[in-house]
Chain A
């Protein structure tokens, strides 16, 4: 599971949970691989992200590096910055671990890179 995917996931559908975002991450195994860098793609994807969530996720799994906590201005033209974003978005993957609902503490296990977001009937 990439941190980009984590950015899209919420536990709001749980009964009694009002925001359910962002999910916490407890990573047991992390894989880092090299992915081709495309500055235009990263620049276009940044506006779709919840920046604070990405930063916190990267920080919580020890891969935040020099990524600034708040999104910089003129990021489209800052290649060095875009490369850092590229790394946390696409090159770092959580292979095994858990996602945690921020309100209920409900765990969503991640196995072989696939988060299990299924809910029991009595949780919905």
Chain B
């Protein structure tokens, strides 16, 4: 999978999360799954919290060669929405963007074949989630770093198609095993498909599917 070109100015970096090790691990995990993804021929993909747009753009670039697919990126931050749009355009892929808080305004219709989420996972106080600086939204995860992502979990079975796949990035402190159990209660099966130790963080990619 080619890494998209992402151009962020110093001003952009004040409000938009710069592609980092977590973004690259997520792209690597999608790349490792590319043959499976191609075989399933997804028609609708969604990224929650697209930030710079690097992940969904990489996915769109890789899928474009094999099948047509609709991509939707959502982010709470208008700057991130604009940058995501720009990143897609610069890499010649078509991604529609909506400014939204997580999945608040997405209808439940089991339509998305691929859902990708690199959530704010850093363990912080719950207050920090609502810090006025918009960049906090990109990383502040509250208690256990799970406070934000847990708002999304119960909605996943309702937006994911029956054969769809959900990719989630977490860190050790979020307790990946606990998250896998949460999804079991949602009638979904998950597994760790990639992990990487970087300075100060142990990153994991979890992949979930519905139990048939």
Contact = CB atoms under 8 A, between A and B. Distances in A.
The answer to whether A and B assemble together is yes
Interface of A: 1-2, 4-5, 8-13, 21, 35-36, 38, 40-41, 44-45, 48, 50, 90, 108, 112-119, 124
A-B pairs, 10 with minimum CB distance: A41-B68, A117-B105, A48-B111, A117-B100, A10-B107, A38-B68, A5-B96, A13-B104, A116-B99, A45-B43
B181 interface: no
Contacts of B81: 114
Nearest to A45: B43
Interface of B: 41, 43-44, 67-70, 72, 76, 78, 81-82, 85, 94, 96-101, 104-107, 109, 111, 161
Contact of B43 (A2, A44, A112): A44
Given A2-B70, A5-B96, A35-B94, 7 more contacts: A8-B72, A9-B105, A13-B104, A36-B68, A45-B44, A50-B109, A114-B82
A10 B44 contact: no
A21 B43 contact: no
Contacts of A45: 43-44, 70
A113 B68 CA distance: 21
A13 B105 contact: yes
A117 B104 contact: yes
Nearest to B69: A41
Nearest to A39: B68
B97 A114 contact: yes
Contacts of A41: 43, 67-69
A115 B44 contact: no
Contacts of B68: 36, 38, 40-41
A9 B111 contact: no
Nearest to A36: B68
A116 B105 CA distance: 10
